[in-house]
Amino acid sequence: MADKPKSTSGAAPGIAKVSTLAFVGMTCALCVSIRNIPDVASTGWTMFFYMLVATLLFGFPISLIAGEFTTTFPGAGGPELWDTKSLSPRWGFVTSWLLWVQMFPGMVMVASVLAPLVGYAIGNVALGMNNVFTLVCILVVYWAVTLLNMRFDMAKIGGKIGIWLGLYIPIVAMFILGLAAVIKTGGFSAGSTLGTFSGAKLVPDGVDWSSLTMFSTIIFIFTGIEMSSVYVERLQKPDKQYPIGVFISLLLMFVFNVANAFLVAAVVPKGQMQLNNITQAVAIYVDVLGLPHWFVNAFAILVFLGVVVQLSGWVSGPSQTITASARRGEYPSGWKFWKTNKFGLSTRVLIVQAVIISVFALVYLLIPAVNTAFLMLVNATSVLYCIVYVLMAIGIMRLRKTQPTLARPFRIGKTGNGLCYFIAIVLLAVIVLVNGLVYATSSVANNIVVTIVSIVLFVIPLFIFAHKKPAWETDVRHALLQQGVNLAEDGTIDGVTAGEHAKNPDPVEKAKADAKDQKVIDMHKNMHTAA
């Protein structure tokens, strides 16, 4: 039986305390996204079932596991550090890699919303749903923000602006317009995506499982919620506040997504939901209410600007993890992933990821049906992210056995390991079930592509790690020393070392680390708002 943690309350010294309510706000800001609304709406009445399952059996277990991990190993590192400590450096490296490469299909998926926004902004809706135009928009915008990130500190320039333009204002506008439109029409019609109500429609009927193809997109809503665990150190009583705060956050995310999706499903005709077009429902709302069409144009322009600004977080954020790994000698020194510009970004990494994302974007050229291509990208992204969660679940169970006496300010279960194992197994079961059902209901082509992409991207880091050479780290350190950069002073020490030193940090270094952690949090917040 594992020992009880040495401390179960008290925020870390030197860190400003936050209330449970403030923690809820921070968590929601990390994960809430307007882009997911059409995905949820497309499932009709089963949206309640799918969102409930995703919230309780996916989002909640991830949050609990991350909460224990982050208080056990404080400091920068996140899932990479957790898997390194609980499994091995090999799996920590794999985790770091997966969190980078999942953005390849994920970025294309997110950027695909730009084409419909441009179409509505210029008054040419059909153009916005054209697959070739979608490809052009993705390539032009992504390469533009990549080049801008090489010349300017885009994360600093556009972070808060992007959140307001891409999230807060559109959310309020959509809900108010949608509620007014549904009230004016007197509810939902049989011809809408929602259709007429019957109790049997609240769950999949066992015959028509087509909505299951959308389940992975609903699960994707909660990916990234593990980042909320970074705030645990700021709670006065993490063992009590964290689970309560997470549960409230998940409840609010459930309400937000279902409420807006319900209004969208009530007006969009059955079979005509455009998954990458958040403006579709707004255009219908405006027509129903008799408002001037410039409302739609303004909404499209607003969200477009917001998404473009937010994409900068995707360009710079994950690349910094790869750069840090390269400076630890985990990538061939000849790749020069370790070399950065004045903003701390590796130009080589930015170019490489831009090229790979451009290749992934070609799916819109190969698959004319935009919705089909969109779903393929979502499935690929979800599978890669789910592998990270599988490693986390296995890691938390293994850590309970291998290091039972570690101090855990937040602990799943007061005594013993039963509850921890149960939570981890539930998460694993949901991941297997969801991905299995999605494969069973998807096309053969979709399954082949997603499987090949997932296997290739999973095997690559194992190959790199197996052929790792000591000279990689030596060469990097030598090159950086010639530039007057000392790795220890630069802060690019490995996550394990950061975690060990975080228990008894130097005050000055602790302040630097806290500032670095907050920068990572803000960057991830911008990334997920775009997603």
Query: Above 80 in pLDDT, residue 488?
Result: no
Q: Bridge-partner residues for 471, per DSSP?
A: none
Asked if residue 446 lies in contact with residue 379, where contact means CB atoms within 8 angstroms, the answer is yes
User: Do the beta carbons of residue 116 and residue 276 sit within 8 Å?
Assistant: yes
Residue type, 5: P
User: Predicted confidence band at 155 (pLDDT cuts at 50, 70, 90)?
Assistant: low
- Find residue 192's DSSP bridge partners: 269
C-beta separation of 343 from 410 below 8 A:
no
Nearest to 132 by CA among 119, 145, 144, 146: 119
What is the per-residue pLDDT for 419?
95
Q: Taking 80 as the threshold, does the pLDDT of residue 337 lie above it?
A: yes
State the Cα torsion 523-34-374-436 to the nearest 10°: 90
The answer to whether residue 180 scores a pLDDT higher than 90 is yes
pLDDT tens figures, 343-367: 778 889 999 999 999 999 988 888 8
Please give the Cα distance from 445 to 449 (Å, whole number).
Answer: 6
275-309 confidence digits (pLDDT tens):
778 888 999 999 999 999 888 888 888 888 877 87
pLDDT at position 158, please? Answer: 58
pLDDT tens, residue by residue, 312-324: 777 777 787 888 8
3-state SS, residue 50: helix
Cβ burial, residue 22 (10 Å; 0-12/13-18/19+)? middle
State which H helix or E strand residue 66 sits in: helix 60-72
Close Cβ partners of 150 (under 8 Å, ≥ 6 residues apart)? 341, 345, 347, 350
| Cβ-proximal residues to 210 (8 Å cutoff; 6+ apart), any chain | 441
Query: Tokens 């079961």 label which residue?
Result: 429
Q: Higher confidence at residue 137 or residue 107? A: 137
pLDDT at 25: 79
Confidence class of residue 125 from pLDDT cuts 50, 70 and 90?
A: confident
Q: Would the pTM count as exceeding 0.75?
A: yes
For residue 271, what pLDDT band results from cuts at 50, 70 and 90?
A: confident
Rounded to whole angstroms, the Cα distance separating 247 from 229 reads: 13
**Domain ranges for the chain:** 20-194+207-530
Tell whether the model's pLDDT for residue 518 goes beyond 80.
no
Distance of CA 298 to the CA centre of its chain: 27
Q: Which two tokens stand for residue 384?
A: 């890669």
Band (pLDDT 50/70/90 cuts) for residue 76 is low
Q: Given 1.20.1250.20, 3.40.50.2300, 1.20.1740.10, 3.40.50.300, which CATH number is that of 20-194+207-530?
A: 1.20.1740.10
Give Rg (Cα) of the chain.
23
223-266 pLDDT, tens digit each: 878 877 767 777 888 777 888 888 888 888 898 889 999 999 98
Say whether pLDDT at 6 is over 60. no
- In tens, the pLDDT along 459-480 reads 999 999 999 999 998 888 888 8
Q: Residues near 146 by Cβ (< 8 Å), separated by ≥ 6?
A: 315, 350, 351, 354
**CA separation for the pair 335, 326 (Å, rounded):** 9
Per-residue pLDDT for 222 more than 80? yes
Q: Which of 429, 430, 44 is nearest to 202 (CA)?
A: 44
The predicted pLDDT at position 211 comes to: 64
What's the distance, Cα to Cα, between the start and end of the chain in Å? 41
Q: What is the mean pLDDT of residues 5-26?
A: 62
Question: Which amino acid, one-letter code, is at 433?
Answer: L
Give the span between the Cα atoms of 37 and 47, in whole angstroms.
11
Planar angle of CA 235, 498, 520, nearest 5 degrees: 60
The residues that bridge with 235 in the sheet, in sequence order, are: 18
Report the 3 state secondary structure along 282-300.
Answer: HHHHHHHHCCCCHHHHHHH
Query: Of 190 and 398, which is predicted with more confidence?
Result: 398
Amino acid at 417: N
Task: Give the model confidence (pLDDT) of 185-195 as tens digits.
Answer: 887 777 888 87
pLDDT attached to residue 491:
40
What is each CA distance from 274 to 126, 252, 281, 375, 484, in whole angstroms?
Answer: 12, 25, 9, 11, 53
